Copies of this chain bind each other. A is one copy, B any other.
Amino acid sequence: MPIITFISDFGDRDWFVAAVKGQILRANPEATVIDITHRIAPHDVRSAAFVVRSTYLDFPPATIHLVVVDPGVGSMRKPIIVQSEDYVFVGPDNGVFSYVLNEKSRVFGINSTGEVSTTFHARDIFAPTAGRLSRGEEPKNLGTTISDYVRFSFPGIQTTGKEVHGEIIYIDHFGNLITNIPISTAVTSVHIAKQQIAVKKCYAEVHQGDLIVVKGSAGFYEIAANMASAKSILGASTGMRIVAVAA
């Protein structure tokens, strides 16, 4: 049972996600497609890059991850396949795979065939490619190795004495603020919006509505609130600067 996951900014109101699934099933009727999310903000390549990085390892090895946030569709930007040790990724060459690429990754520009629209490569190129890969076809038979692909760097932290300077990189549905400070860095509290918030183990350790910092499931410290939205309480947005106190 080959698995293909699917991330996009297509939303859930139209038929675009389904058109892609239909074309995958045309290429491989045995494929199972698992939606990750289609509610990436329109054209927000960096959020999509963070989402695929945060969950691709949850899936069994050999899973194919299809990621289509593609404002350059129809232009000269290449459609690509990224082959890593255990997974394969398919999508546009615009940096969306920046956080899953490593020194062992190989990147292929897809040699597309057939009739192709200028606005819906997910349906016309990426879906058939993912379907063929899920049948066992080799990336090298579907494309040509390239080395000049787009890759942006992960926003880094700066450490000055006891201060760890970072930022909010993602805000989830609950209003939890995911920082870029990895949980492997020992910190005791985080300063944001004139508040000092202590690191604790779980939400229930503070009163309802109170703020807390926890070791988040994505591997970074998160600023949260017990049964409430830290985003609303703090008026936070992505890019907001924070300072943690090193342990």
Contacts and interface: CB of A to CB of B under 8 A. Distances in A.
Contacts of A33: 34
Nearest to A38: B12
Interface stretch (A98-106, A160-168, A212-220, A236-244): A212-220
A150 interface: no
Label chain A's interface by main secondary structure. loop
A112 B226 CA distance: 24
Interface string A76-115: 0100000000000000000000000000000000000000
A198 interface: no
Given A26-B60, A34-B22, A12 B12 contact: yes
A227 B70 CA distance: 10
B204 A22 contact: no
Chain copies in the assembled complex: 3
Contacts of A18: 5, 34-37, 55, 58
A66 B119 CA distance: 27
A149 interface: no
Interface range, A side: 35 or more
Interface of A: 1, 3, 5, 10-16, 18-19, 21-23, 25-26, 29-30, 33-39, 42-43, 51, 54-55, 58-60, 63, 71-75, 77, 117-120, 123-124, 172-174, 201-205, 214-217, 222, 224, 226-227, 229
